[in-house]
Each structure stands twice: as C-alpha cells, then as structure tokens.
Amino acid sequence: MSDPSLFELAIPAWMVVALATMAVLFFVTAPYGRHSRPGWGPSLPAWLGWMVMEAASPLAFSLFLLPGNDHLTLPVLAFWVLWMVHYVNRAFVYPLRMADNRRPMAISVAGMAVFFNFVNGYINGHYLRLFGEGYTSGWFVDPRFIAGLLLFAAGMRINTHSDAVLRDLRANGSGEYRIPRGGLFSRVSCPNYFGEIVEWFGWACLTWSLAGLAFAIWTAANLIPRAVAHHRWYRRRFSDYPYNRRAVIPYLL
Ligand code: NDP
C-alpha cells in the first residue's frame, strides 16, 4: 500500500480485527500445546511449525523496510535490530530448545500464524519505510524511546525467563505438565505471555507508532484469552494450584 494516508487508515481497521479475534479466542482456544484437539487437519513437528510461523515476521519486516531504502536513519536501524533480536530467539533458538519439540502441531494453526505474523511484520516494516525519516538521532534521548526501550527489555527478560522455567519442567523428559514456580509464576499462570505483551507495548512506545500499537494489541488479543484458558486448565488439573495466582496480569486478571 503505497498511499500513506490509506495505509494509516488501514491500521485502525486491523486493530478492530484484532479485537474481534480476541472475542472469538475467548470461546475457541487456539488448538496447540495443551489445547490441541483433533479436527484441525494434518500436522507437522512443533519445532518446524514454530520456525515457519515465526520466521514470517522478521522476513516481512525486513523485506518491506530494507531493500532500496535510502532513507534509513539510525533509530530505524535500532528498531530493526530489536525486532530481529526478539525473532531470532522466537523463530530459531526457542523451537530448537523447547522440550518435546517433536510434538505435533496442526498445519492449519501454523498457517494462520504465518498470516498473522506476516501482516504484522509488513505493517511495521512498511510504516517505518514510509515514515522512518522522521526519526532523527535525537529520538534516542526522547523519553518515549527511553521508556519504551526499558519496557521492551523488561518484557523480553520476563518472557525468556518464564519460557526457561517451563522448559526446565520437562528437563526429565517425562512430557508431563507440572505446576511452574519461581519468578513471576508466583503472581500469574502465564508470565511468558505477560512479558510478551509488555515487550510489544514497549515497542509501540519506543516507536511511538500506530503500527507498533496495532501489533501490541494483536499480541494481547492472542495471549490474554489463551492465558485465561491456561489458568482455568491449571485450576482444573491441580487441586493444590496456588489460589492467589492471576491468569496473566499480576493482581488484575
Ligand atoms: P505455553 O506456555 O503454552 O508453552 C510453552 C512451552 O512450555 C511448551 O513447550 C509447553 O508444552 C511447555 N509448558 C507449558 N506449561 C507447562 C507446564 N505447566 N509443565 C510443563 N511444560 C509446560 O506457551 P506457547 O506455546 O503458547 O507460546 C510460546 C512462546 O511464544 C511464549 O513465550 C509466548 O509469549 C510466545 N507467543 C507469542 C505470540 C504473539 O502473539 N506474539 C503468540 C503465541 C505465542 P506443550 O506445548 O506441550 O503445552
């Protein structure tokens, strides 16, 4: 979409789609991991599914931002680096390290995630291509950049630490589910999701962009209903599940 004003109009529409999707996800939990169920077609190993679906995002982001772009500024390059740091972990390190990474994942689920990730990568890459010149080097000392970067880093730390706690629960190769403990698990059932949501709201703040906000809203739209489903599942599964834990947002939800 080369017309900037049309593109800026399309982003709020994409946010509305996110909110509608969120409403649906409260009733239909995405069928992977503990919520897997038959009826979603053929599958592929989880590690491959994660690689394919998550690689779509850095690919689209780079493809729409970089080639032939003579107006790349230093802050935009810094944004690119942050996006890549997150996605190198999510698309390549995470799938290879996850326990039980040969468990099946429905190709239909991975396909939907490829679409979601590609569109969000496109929107953010294209936005920065259209409007990136506005970020001069002074942006590095702008309070919005500094606050957003701190949020992004804190969110990523919470996310990767929580992913590691979950991975350790399967270190014995049993493939069982256990009650996770430590870190923010003392407050919520899904601190990995909480960290991811904080991270992308940090991104929205550090880029101060509608595109960034759209992706943060999509992340929350995907992960909040899933966290609520996980939380209910934990309570049903473990009679000794800590009663004071929330689902995803400490003290709130
Ligand atoms: P989950 O928390 O459902 O699972 C993460 C891994 O830990 C899986 O391998 C899972 O196994 C295992 N696991 C989870 N709970 C337990 C437990 N109690 N005992 C033992 N093992 C457990 O996360 P997701 O798979 O949904 O997501 C993985 C990462 O991807 C997260 O960091 C998330 O933030 C991110 N993500 C981001 C999205 C976005 O919109 N930006 C969308 C989806 C995910 P199993 O698979 O067998 O359940």
Residue found under tokens 């107006």: 71
Name the residue at shortest CA distance from atom 17 of ligand 1. 177
Q: In this predicted structure, what is the pLDDT of residue 225?
A: 98
Nearest atom in ligand 1 to 163's CA: 32
Type of residue at 58? P
Q: In this predicted structure, what is the pLDDT of residue 171?
A: 85
List ligand 1's pocket residues with C-beta within 6 A: 33-34, 98-100, 103, 159, 163, 166, 169-170, 177-178, 180, 192-193, 196, 219, 222-223
CA–centroid distance, 86 to ligand 1, in Å, is 16
Query: Mean pLDDT lowest for which of 64-68, 79-83, 102-106, 130-134?
Result: 102-106
Name the residue at shortest CA distance from atom 47 of ligand 1. 33
Q: In this predicted structure, what is the pLDDT of residue 98?
A: 87
Name the residue at shortest CA distance from atom 40 of ligand 1. 219
pLDDT tens-digit map of 146-182: 999 999 999 999 999 999 999 999 988 788 999 999 9
Residue found under tokens 């999510």: 90
Instruction: Output the six-digit token pair for 1.
Output: 């979409």
101: pLDDT strictly greater than 90: no
Name the residue at shortest CA distance from atom 10 of ligand 1. 33
Handedness of CA 45, 47, 53, 59 (dihedral sign): negative
Confidence of residue 8 (pLDDT cuts 50, 70, 90): confident
* Opening angle at CA 174, ends 250 and 101, nearest 5: 75
Name the residue at shortest CA distance from atom 14 of ligand 1. 166
Nearest atom in ligand 1 to 90's CA: 30
CA–centroid distance, 166 to ligand 1, in Å, is 8
Name the residue at shortest CA distance from atom 1 of ligand 1. 33
pLDDT tens-digit map of 206-250: 999 999 999 999 999 999 999 999 999 999 999 999 999 999 999
pLDDT tens-digit map of 17-69: 999 999 999 999 999 999 999 999 999 999 999 999 999 999 999 999 999 99
Nearest atom in ligand 1 to 30's CA: 26
